[in-house]
C-alpha cells in the first residue's frame, strides 16, 4: 500500500528527530523555491512569475550577455536587488535559523537566510551573492559590497580601471567558487540527512550534490511544491510550500 503525504511527513519527522537527538549531521541544500514565499521569483516552475518565462537567460545571466549589453544586465540585476532588499524572510528561512548546527548550502544569491538569523559562517553560497559586485576581469580580483536598496549603475572597476564591475553571482557557463564547492561537497558527503528545499535540481554542477549524499548513504528529504529532478533520489518527498512543511517537519 502506498504511503499518504501525512505518513511520509510523520516518517520524515521521526527521522529528523532522531538525527537531532543523536547529533547526526543534517545539511540543507536549497534553491529559489526557499525564497518564493518571500516574493522573490524563481527561475523555473509553473508560476507565470518565474523569471526565465519572461527574460532570456542567455542575455541576462551569461558572460556573453554582459559583454553584449553590460548596461542592460546591470539594470536588470539592480531591479532584482531592489526586490530582494524589500523582501522579508519567510517561515522556511525562520525555521532553518532555529537550527544553528545545520549547514545551509544554497544556490540562492539573496541573503534571506542570514536575515533570518543564520550565521554567515553556516551559509555556503554556491552561486555567489547578489549584494556584491566584482571586476569582470578575474585577474584583477576587486570585489565590493553594494547597497541593495540603491545599487550603483554600470561603472568601471576602481582598482584596474580596465573593465566594468559586474554582479558577484555565478552565470551560466561559469565555474562555481572553488572553496564553496569543495566545502559543500565534503560536508554533504558526510551527512546523514540532506534536506533538499525548493530546487528544480536541474542546474549543474550544484544538482550533483544530491546523488553525492544519496550514494554515501544519507537519507534525502525533498520539499517542493511539485515533483523535481530530485524526486527519484528522495527517501521522502514532501509536496507543499517550504514555509508550511519545514515548521511541521521540525516541530
Q: Which residues bind ligand NAD (CB under 6 A)?
A: 31-33, 35-37, 40, 42-45, 51, 107-110, 127, 198-200, 202-203, 223-226, 228, 241-242
The CB-of-161 to ligand NAD minimum distance in angstroms stands at 29
Which grid cell is 46?
Answer: 509553473
Nearer to ligand NAD, 157 or 228 (CB): 228
**Residues 121-160: b if buried by 16+ CB within 10 A, e if exposed:** ebbbbbbbbbbbbbbbeeebeeeeebebeebeebeebeee
Active site residue 127: yes
Measured from the CB of residue 243, what is the shortest distance to ligand NAD in angstroms?
6
C-beta of 150 vs 202, nearer to ligand NAD:
202
Whole-number minimum distance, CB 184 to ligand NAD, in Å?
14
Pick 165 or 203: Cβ nearer ligand NAD: 203
Residue 74: closest CA among 84, 59, 53: 59
Nearer of residues 165 and 209 to ligand NAD, judged by Cβ: 209
Distance of closest approach, residue 155 Cβ to ligand NAD, in angstroms: 23
From the list 127, 192, 215, 232, the catalytic residue is 127
List, by residue number, the catalytic residues: 127
Amino acid at each position: 500500500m502506498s504511503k499518504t503525504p501525512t505518513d511520509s511527513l510523520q516518517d520524515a519527522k521521526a527521522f529528523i528527530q532522531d538525527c537531532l537527538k543523536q547529533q547526526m549531521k543534517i545539511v540543507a541544500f536549497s534553491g529559489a523555491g526557499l525564497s518564493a514565499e518571500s516574493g522573490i521569483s524563481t527561475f523555473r516552475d509553473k508560476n507565470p512569475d518565474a523569471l526565465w518565462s519572461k527574460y532570456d537567460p542567455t542575455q541576462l545571466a551569461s558572460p556573453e550577455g554582459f559583454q553584449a549589453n553590460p548596461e542592460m544586465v546591470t539594470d536588470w540585476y539592480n531591479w532584482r536587488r531592489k526586490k530582494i532588499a524589500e523582501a522579508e524572510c519567510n517561515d522556511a528561512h525562520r525555521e532553518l535559523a532555529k537550527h544553528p548546527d545545520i549547514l545551509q548550502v544554497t544556490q540562492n544569491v539573496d541573503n534571506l537566510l542570514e536575515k533570518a538569523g543564520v550565521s554567515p559562517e553556516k551559509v555556503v553560497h554556491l552561486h555567489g551573492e547578489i549584494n556584491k559586485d566584482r571586476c569582470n576581469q578575474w585577474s584583477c580580483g576587486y570585489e565590493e559590497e553594494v547597497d541593495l536598496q540603491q545599487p550603483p549603475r554600470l561603472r568601471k572597476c576602481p582598482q584596474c580601471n580596465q573593465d566594468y564591475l559586474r554582479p558577484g553571482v555565478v552565470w551560466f557557463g561559469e565555474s562555481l567558487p572553488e572553496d564553496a564547492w569543495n566545502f559543500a561537497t565534503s560536508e554533504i558527503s558526510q551527512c546523514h540527512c540532506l534536506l533538499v528545499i525548493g530546487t528544480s535540481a536541474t542546474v549543474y554542477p550544484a544538482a550533483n550534490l544530491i546523488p553525492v549524499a544519496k550514494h554515501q548513504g544519507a537519507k534525502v528529504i525533498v520539499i517542493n511544491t511539485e515533483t523535481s529532478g530530485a524526486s527519484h533520489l528522495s527517501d521522502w518527498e514532501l509536496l507543499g510550500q517550504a514555509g508550511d512543511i519545514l515548521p511541521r517537519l521540525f516541530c
